[in-house]
Chains A and B, each alone.
Chain A
Amino acid sequence: MSPLLSNAITITLVAYGLAMLLALWRMLRGPAAQDRVLALDLIYIIGMLIALVIGLRYTSSMYFEAALLIALFGFVSSAAMAKFLLRGEVIE
C-alpha cells in the first residue's frame, strides 16, 4: 500500500472517530429521547463505515460482512426504539 492511500485512510479514520465523539456528545446530552435515538443511529452508520474502511486498509473482504451486520443491527435497534417511542410497545 502506497503512502498516499495509507495516509488518506488514516485521516479518514481519525475524522470518523471525531464524528463519533460529536454524535456521542449529542447522545449523552440530547434533550429528548428521540435525539438520543437519532445520534445512536448515526453512530451505528459511522461504525459501519469504519468497518468498510478497515477492510480497505487490510485488503480483506471479511470486514464487508461485519459492516453489513452492523448496518442491519443498527436498523433493527433504531426502528425498535422509534416504535417504542411512538407506541410504548415494540410489537403490538
Chain B
Amino acid sequence: MTTNTLPLWIEIIVAILLLASAVLTLGASWGLVRMRTFVQRMHPPALAYVGASWCVTFASIVYFSAQNEGPQLHVWLIIILLSITVPITTVLLARAALFRGRRLNDATLPPALQPKTPPPTAPEQH
C-alpha cells in the first residue's frame, strides 16, 4: 500500500490519541498492581477496556481515513465487540469472586442482600 504524506495536524491528532492510550493502559496495569483487594482491583482495567481502546480506535480511523481519502470505519467493530463482551466478563468475574469469597468467609466482601430463605445449619455471621 502506498503511503501518502499526511498533513501535520492529522499526525498530531493521531500521536496525541496514541499517547493518551499509552498513559491510560499504564494506569490500568499500575492500578491492577497497586490496589489491595480484588473488588478494588476490578476497577482499573476499565481504563484500558474503554479509554485506551477508544483512543486507539479513533487514532486508526483518523489515520486510515486520511490515508485513503475517504472514511474507513471498519475499526469501529472493535469498539462494538468490546462494549458487548467486557461487561459480561466483568459481571461473571465479580460473581465468581463473591461466590468464592463468601465460601471462604472473606470479611472485606459486602454482605449478601437477602439472607438465605431456609437458614443453613449455622446462621451466617458477619
**A interface list, Cβ under 8 A from B:** 1-2, 4-5, 8-9, 11-12, 15-16, 18-23, 25-26, 32-35, 37-39, 41-42, 45-46, 48-49, 52-53, 55-56, 59-61, 64, 67-68, 71-72, 75, 78-79, 82-83, 85-86
Contacts and interface: CB of A to CB of B under 8 A. Distances in A.
Contacts of B57: 52
Interface of B: 1, 3, 5-6, 8, 11-12, 14-15, 18-19, 21-23, 25-26, 28-30, 32-33, 38, 41-42, 45, 48-49, 52-53, 56-57, 59-60, 63-64, 67, 72, 74-75, 77-78, 81-82, 85-86, 88-89, 92-93, 95-97, 99-100
Q: Which DSSP category, helix, strand, loop or mixed, fits chain B's interface?
A: helix
A34 B100 CA distance: 9
A78 B93 contact: yes
A23 B45 CA distance: 10
Given A4-B15, A52-B75, A85-B96, A42 B48 contact: yes
A52 B3 CA distance: 17
Main secondary structure of the interface of A (DSSP, over half): helix
A72 B82 CA distance: 9
B89 A79 contact: yes
Q: Enumerate the 6 nearest inter-chain pairs by beta-carbon distance, A residue then B residue, closest first.
A: A15-B22, A8-B15, A22-B29, A82-B92, A75-B85, A85-B96
Contacts of A12: 18-19, 21-22
Contacts of A86: 92, 95-96, 99
Nearest to B42: A38
Nearest to B15: A8
A42 B48 CA distance: 8
